[in-house]
Amino acid sequence: MLSERRLEVLRAIVQDYVGTEEPVGSKALTERHRLGVSPATVRNDMAALEDEGYIAQPHTSAGRIPTDKGYRLFVDRLAGVKPLTAPERRAIQNFLDGAVDLDDVVGRTVRLLAQLTRQVAVVQYPSLTRSTVRHVELLAMAPARVMLVLITDTGRVEQRMIDCPAPFGETSLADLRARLNSRVAGRRFTDVPQLVQDLPEAFETEDRGTVATVLSTLLETLVEETEERLMIGGTANLTRFAHDFPLTIRPVLEALEEQVVLLKLLGEAKDSGMTVRIGHENAHEGLNSTSVVSVGYGSGGEAVAKLGVVGPTRMDYPGTMGAVRAVARYVGQILAES
Amino acid sequence: MLSERRLEVLRAIVQDYVGTEEPVGSKALTERHRLGVSPATVRNDMAALEDEGYIAQPHTSAGRIPTDKGYRLFVDRLAGVKPLTAPERRAIQNFLDGAVDLDDVVGRTVRLLAQLTRQVAVVQYPSLTRSTVRHVELLAMAPARVMLVLITDTGRVEQRMIDCPAPFGETSLADLRARLNSRVAGRRFTDVPQLVQDLPEAFETEDRGTVATVLSTLLETLVEETEERLMIGGTANLTRFAHDFPLTIRPVLEALEEQVVLLKLLGEAKDSGMTVRIGHENAHEGLNSTSVVSVGYGSGGEAVAKLGVVGPTRMDYPGTMGAVRAVARYVGQILAES
DNA sequence: TGCTGGCACTCGCACGCACTGAGTGCCAAG
DNA sequence: CTTGGCACTCAGTGCGTGCGAGTGCCAGCA
């Protein structure tokens, strides 16, 4: 059990280390913080904190730096979420309000987050699985060729070209379009399969093959595109921790390029509320020296996707968390309006 | 005027420097290349080459490295384009053949290029301005709300939501859709404006406002989306030149994030044939220590977009040019098939 | 029991210095 | 025009030294 003062010492160490990026010693601590005790006392506390594994020294005659466990305690018990300033909020709103379509919203969000946190930003596109269908369109491109266009409530559009087993008349196509939309429009993606199950039966025998093909393509699209997309930005910020270069950033850049890795990362985060994963808490090895702050966002009360930032474990957690939360809220609003 | 042998010396210097990444001296040159002359002679040649500005020495007692001007000469007169090996060609084909849609094609291309060249790959989406319209679709989302979907011959899809000034009936909508498509389907984007100019006149007065709104949105989309999109990959390869870190890669990463910069960069390249821009030939300051190899690609004989790689000036030009050209060809084929 | 000042100790780091060797420019001879 | 020889330059390396930040421990005091 750690005394109140020792927690205070840990907090001071984290804050100083985040600020200076250098190991912090007992003397510097007493000078920069009003702890009300002498360096010697702080040394004792630091020894205790080190025994407990919250801090460590890089080498014998150096100050201490927080361990992953230390950051964890800091985030959980010692730090709040720092709200943004009014000008920052206004800037966010203005910047996001200019977006013209979904791509633009996501693009702006990623730039905004990267700029605010000065770290790498990751924004997931609104997920199809948690979205609802706004409209399904079928376009005859040729006698036996149909284009399927799928539009979600968040404005995302997916299209597929379908080669039909037999020519398909314009009236049949219109019929299918109407039946399809009346069943699935406004419904959740996950519900679609059973909603269209018996649709072929409503058609003439000669058209059933085509209807089945269209439906299976639709279902495929739902499944395949569950493979989410995401956008990243601010990688140039990685160069800010130029110390342990390039050993550190190489694996991080590689991890960022593997969208699968990132998606898994975001997937592991809680669906609601903010998630902070520190250092080795991240399953992916390349990200062992980074922390990931993520949060879900959505147009209504419910989260349809996640966004967050990836930065060094030595990051300004309160500020980062504040920025991430604020951006998520505004993006949610924008999506709800559009 | 440079003698044949001096050119040969320059070629040897470039090759060795690209291979070893270290300044190359006269002795090492005569050992690694069969120049048939002594180091002393080579020294004289090197002095001449330095006078002409083709090579330079980082400091007095070091070997020489090529200057931008030296690389330029090398690319223009001393190096060919190294064709890929048969297995490489097969690998490309196999990899690209698996693509399901345009996003996938571009994504795979970028990964492929990054892998083949071990550098940063940039692929521009097929440009709208040089594309033709495959289909324009209008969907009634609400009585006075229409979604415009624009589909290009390269499979790219853009959509816009339109708030109409007045309710618009389903029959009017179908009418507009039919007229619109009969005029613009198969035509070039640049021709669209004049093709639809007099379209409102064909409608009842009460609908003209809406028709005009739809048309102006369509034209806006054409213009706005002329702002091209692109995808980049392989940024982790930047860490391979870990020497002049991070001074070098910081500005490069920043430039890569600014799509505008990249688009301008690609835009400055020739429309046909391969373009190599070396070091300071790149207008953007952050890319002064990199070279850009780019080439147009397209589904037919004509280029609809460009792709290329960004790497250190000290790169394997023949190999890189070979990979870029080959990939561009295969992507063109894939696009033509789909 | 807990805090404090004092003190000896550790060790990374910056600095100075000499040495080494790759590479050069110049020159006289072939 | 080429070549071998030669003196010169200078970045990089390894070593020894001093400095100082920081520590751990201990005895004294509240």
A159, A223, A260, best to mutate vs chain B, most B CBs in 10 Å: A159
Q: What residues in A contact B233, CB-CB < 8 Å?
A: 257
A233-281 pLDDT, tens digit each: 999 998 887 655 556 788 888 999 888 889 888 988 887 789 999 999 9
Q: pLDDT averaged over chain A?
A: 88
pLDDT for the residue numbered A70 = 96
Q: What residues in A contact B224, CB-CB < 8 Å?
A: 100
pLDDT for the residue numbered A69 = 96
Region B2-23: what's the mean pLDDT?
91
B202-220 pLDDT, tens digit each: 888 888 888 999 998 888 8
Phi-psi region of A220 (alpha: psi -120 to 50; beta: other; left: phi over 0): alpha
Rounded-to-integer distance, Cα B21 and Cα B217, Å: 53
Q: Which residue of A has its CA nearest to B338?
A: A161
A151-167 pLDDT, tens digit each: 877 777 777 888 888 88
At B94, the pLDDT band (50, 70, 90 cuts) reads very high
Region B45-53: what's the mean pLDDT?
94
Rounded-to-integer distance, Cα A294 and Cα A325, Å: 8
Proximity of residue A66 CB to strand D below 7 A:
no
Calculate the angstrom distance between C1' of C24 and CA of B51.
Answer: 15
Q: CA–CA distance from B332 to each of B100, B145, B294, B297, B325 (Å)? A: 15, 38, 15, 6, 11
Tokens for A241, please give them: 């921790």
Rounded-to-integer distance, Cα B154 and Cα B320, Å: 26
Interface contact flag, B149 A157, Cβ < 8 Å: yes
At B301, the pLDDT band (50, 70, 90 cuts) reads low
On the CB side of B137, CA atoms within 13 Å amount to 23
Rounded-to-integer distance, Cα B317 and Cα A16, Å: 48
Rounded-to-integer distance, Cα A132 and Cα A191, Å: 9
B103-121 pLDDT, tens digit each: 889 999 999 999 999 999 9
Q: Which nucleotides of D are covered by protein (CB under 7 A)?
A: 2-5, 9-11, 20-26
Closest of A153, A110, A116, A159 to residue A135, by C-alpha: A153
pLDDT for the residue numbered B326 = 96
Q: What residues in A contact B155, CB-CB < 8 Å?
A: 159, 161
Interface contact flag, A246 B239, Cβ < 8 Å: yes
pLDDT for the residue numbered B276 = 97
**How many other C-beta atoms lie within 10 A of the C-beta of residue A107?**
17
Phi, psi of A104 (to 5 degrees): -65, -40
Rounded-to-integer distance, Cα B189 and Cα B147, Å: 19
At A1, the pLDDT band (50, 70, 90 cuts) reads low
Torsion on CA atoms A219, A222, A224, A229, rounded to nearest 10: 170
pTM score, whole prediction: 0.81
Interface contact flag, B239 A257, Cβ < 8 Å: no
Rounded-to-integer distance, Cα B285 and Cα B283, Å: 6
Of B139, B246, B338, the CB nearest to A137: B139
A115, A239, A252, A258, best to mutate vs chain B, most B CBs in 10 Å: A239
Interface contact flag, A236 B242, Cβ < 8 Å: no
Q: pLDDT averaged over chain B?
A: 88
Tell me the nearest-neighbour CA distance from A134 into chain B, angstroms: 8
Q: Is A35 helix (H, G, I), strand (E, B) or coil?
A: coil
Region B17-36: what's the mean pLDDT?
90
Q: What residues in B contact A224, CB-CB < 8 Å?
A: 100
B245-298 pLDDT, tens digit each: 556 788 888 999 888 889 888 888 887 789 999 999 998 998 998 999 999 998
Q: What residues in A contact B229, CB-CB < 8 Å?
A: 103
Across all strands, nucleotide nearest B44 (CA–C1') = C25
How many percent of chain B have pLDDT more than 70?
Answer: 94
pLDDT for the residue numbered A139 = 80
pLDDT for the residue numbered A16 = 94
pLDDT for the residue numbered B173 = 86
The chain B residues in contact with chain A (CB within 8 A) are 100-101, 103, 134-135, 137, 139, 141, 147, 149, 151, 155, 157, 159-161, 224, 229, 233-236, 238-239, 242, 245-246, 249-250, 253-254, 256-257, 338
**Sequence-ordered strand ranges (E) for chain A:** 55-56, 65-66, 120-124, 133-142, 145-152, 157-163, 230-233, 274-278, 290-297, 305-312
The DSSP string of B78-133 is: I--PPPPPHHHHHHHHHHHHT--SHHHHHHHHHHHHHHHHTSEEEEEPPPSTTSBE
Q: Which residue is nearest nucleotide C5, judged by alpha carbon to C1' distance?
A: A40
Rounded-to-integer distance, Cα A283 and Cα A65, Å: 23
Of B141, B149, B236, the CB nearest to A253: B236
Q: Which residue of B has its CA nearest to A235?
A: B253
